[in-house]
């Protein structure tokens, strides 16, 4: 019990010391904001605030320490999201986690963003040339997590980031790291911290930034090709601190209450909470709500697209009697302002 009290006190101190850490004056100055998008439905139903309790492959997007808590030896996860309906933007993701040894787990995750076809326009043809292009956003992550005595787990993810169109591209690396602590009579209390998107500056380059022009010294008349240099941009780093508590009503029913604080380097901080109900861990319902810290009513037009309500559900069943093999389907909806929300779908296979 004393450990729980000390953990709660530490969490409170962390909240009070960084509650002013957000930097709204730098909002929009970072790049690669797709790093903050969540393609997985189970955590999306809790507004990506399950820092303390997230587990398995899904943890690779929020807190890689949770990778060590996959139910079986192998977990495969497939995710699809329809982002900001009706923009027709889609997220697709694949992940796999594999236990190695007694306490170690390796993970691989891939995410791509499909924006669709965009018309090519020029200054001479502002209505379009008849050609189209499709931006390519792709992430590849390699992760490792380790659990110590079933109480503390740590994890790290190295992620490669690629953004490109046909003649311009940018490439960079990011690092995610996290820790989870579990205690209580039945591991009821969970506490987690994760640091996301710490990495190299990125910049765009390629043939699309070149243009022909005349020789500038004027001595001879001939054309040359000039390469423009683009400005570098930083990644949208964020610090998450969360805790949760499981109320085991009986052997079949669980009710979880969670809270989370996110300190953003290039936006206002966010604070929120959520609930999850589970029946025999086969059927789950969840909902969450989060707000931006320090956002006044006069400037509500500056709010994040994901401040507000989220909800989701899970159906997961065993595929082999007496074993760890399971099959699950997750769905989540997140309200957005503007647009008509984001829908997430996930399929999970545990072996």
Residue 287, Cβ neighbours under 10 Å: how many?
19
Is the pLDDT score of 297 beyond 90?
no
* pLDDT score of 258: 97
pTM: 0.87
Check if the beta carbon of residue 276 is closer than 8 Å to that of residue 260: no
Which of 119-123, 255-259, 260-264 bottoms out in mean pLDDT, i.e. has the lowest?
119-123
Q: Which residue has the higher pLDDT, 115 or 18?
A: 115
Is the pLDDT score of 18 beyond 70?
no
* pLDDT score of 16: 41
Separation between Cα atoms, residue 206 and residue 228, nearest integer Å: 9
The sign of the dihedral angle between the CA atoms of 197, 198, 201, 206 is negative
Q: What is the pLDDT of residues 131-190, one digit of tens each?
A: 999 999 999 999 999 999 878 999 999 999 999 998 899 999 999 999 999 999 889 999
* pLDDT score of 68: 94
* pLDDT score of 298: 61
User: CA dihedral in degrees (13, 15, 20, 26; nearest 10)?
Assistant: 130
CA–chain centroid gap for 160, Å, is 14
Check if the beta carbon of residue 143 is closer than 8 Å to that of residue 156: yes
pLDDT band, residue 301 (cuts 50/70/90): low
* pLDDT score of 1: 41
* pLDDT score of 221: 77
CA distances 13 to 7, 109, 133, Å, are 10, 34, 49
Is the pLDDT score of 4 beyond 50?
no
Q: What is the pLDDT of residues 60-77, one digit of tens each?
A: 999 999 999 998 899 999
The proportion of the chain whose per-residue pLDDT surpasses 90, expressed as a percent, equals: 66
Check if the beta carbon of residue 63 is closer than 8 Å to that of residue 33: no
Separation between Cα atoms, residue 39 and residue 44, nearest integer Å: 8
Domains for the chain: give ranges and CATH numbers: 2-200+235-350 (2.40.160.60)
Separation between Cα atoms, residue 91 and residue 317, nearest integer Å: 26
pLDDT band, residue 12 (cuts 50/70/90): very low
pLDDT band, residue 25 (cuts 50/70/90): low
Separation between Cα atoms, residue 342 and residue 351, nearest integer Å: 30
Residue 221, Cβ neighbours under 10 Å: how many?
7
* pLDDT score of 225: 82
Average pLDDT, the chain: 88
pLDDT band, residue 340 (cuts 50/70/90): very high
Q: Which tokens sit at 97?
A: 């986690």
Residue count of the chain, please give it: 351
Q: Which residue has the higher pLDDT, 301 or 290?
A: 290
For residue 137, the cross-strand partners are 113, 163
Backbone angles phi, psi at 157, to 5 degrees: -130, 130
Q: Which residue has the higher pLDDT, 104 or 2?
A: 104
For residue 192, the cross-strand partners are 180, 242
- Tell which residue, 110, 111, 129, has the closest CA to residue 121: 129
According to the per-residue pLDDT averaged within each range, which of 15-24, 103-112, 115-124, 263-272 is highest? 103-112
Which of 49-53, 237-241, 317-321 bottoms out in mean pLDDT, i.e. has the lowest?
317-321
Q: Which tokens sit at 315?
A: 């159906």
CA–chain centroid gap for 52, Å, is 14
Separation between Cα atoms, residue 90 and residue 269, nearest integer Å: 26
pLDDT band, residue 8 (cuts 50/70/90): very low
């Amino acid at each position: 019990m004393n450990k729980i009290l000390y953990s709660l006190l530490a969490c409170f101190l962390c909240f009070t010391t960084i509650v002013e850490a957000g930097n709204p004056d730098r909002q929009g100055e970072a790049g690669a904001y797709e790093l903050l998008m969540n393609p997985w439905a189970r955590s999306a139903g809790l507004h990506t605030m399950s820092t303390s309790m997230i587990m398995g492959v899904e943890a690779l997007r929020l807190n890689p320490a949770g990778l060590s808590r996959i139910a079986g030896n192998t977990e495969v996860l497939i995710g699809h999201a329809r982002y900001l309906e009706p923009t027709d933007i889609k997220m697709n993701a694949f992940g796999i986690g594999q236990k190695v040894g007694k306490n170690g787990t390796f993970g691989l995750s891939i995410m791509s963003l499909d924006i669709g076809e965009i018309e090519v326009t020029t200054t001479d043809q502002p209505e379009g040339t008849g050609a189209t292009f499709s931006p390519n956003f792709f992430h590849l992550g390699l992760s490792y997590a380790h659990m110590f005595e079933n109480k503390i787990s740590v994890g790290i993810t190295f992620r490669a980031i690629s953004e490109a169109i046909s003649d311009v591209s940018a490439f960079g690396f990011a690092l995610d790291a996290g820790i989870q602590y579990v205690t209580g009579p039945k591991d009821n209390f969970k506490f987690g911290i994760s640091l996301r998107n710490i990495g190299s500056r990125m910049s765009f380059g390629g043939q699309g930034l070149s243009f022909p022009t005349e020789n500038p010294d004027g001595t001879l008349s001939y054309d040359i090709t000039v390469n423009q240099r683009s400005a570098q941009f930083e990644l949208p780093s964020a610090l998450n601190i969360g805790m949760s508590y499981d109320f085991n009503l009986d052997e079949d029913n669980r009710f979880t209450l969670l809270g989370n604080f996110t300190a953003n380097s290039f936006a206002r901080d966010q604070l929120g909470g959520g609930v999850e109900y589970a029946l025999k861990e086969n059927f789950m319902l969840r909902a969450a709500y989060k707000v931006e810290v320090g956002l006044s009513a006069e400037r509500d037009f500056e709010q994040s697209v994901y401040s507000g309500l989220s909800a989701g559900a899970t159906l997961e069943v065993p595929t082999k009697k007496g074993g760890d093999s399971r099959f699950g389907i997750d769905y989540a909806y997140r309200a957005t302002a503007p647009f008509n929300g984001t829908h997430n779908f996930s399929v999970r296979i545990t072996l």
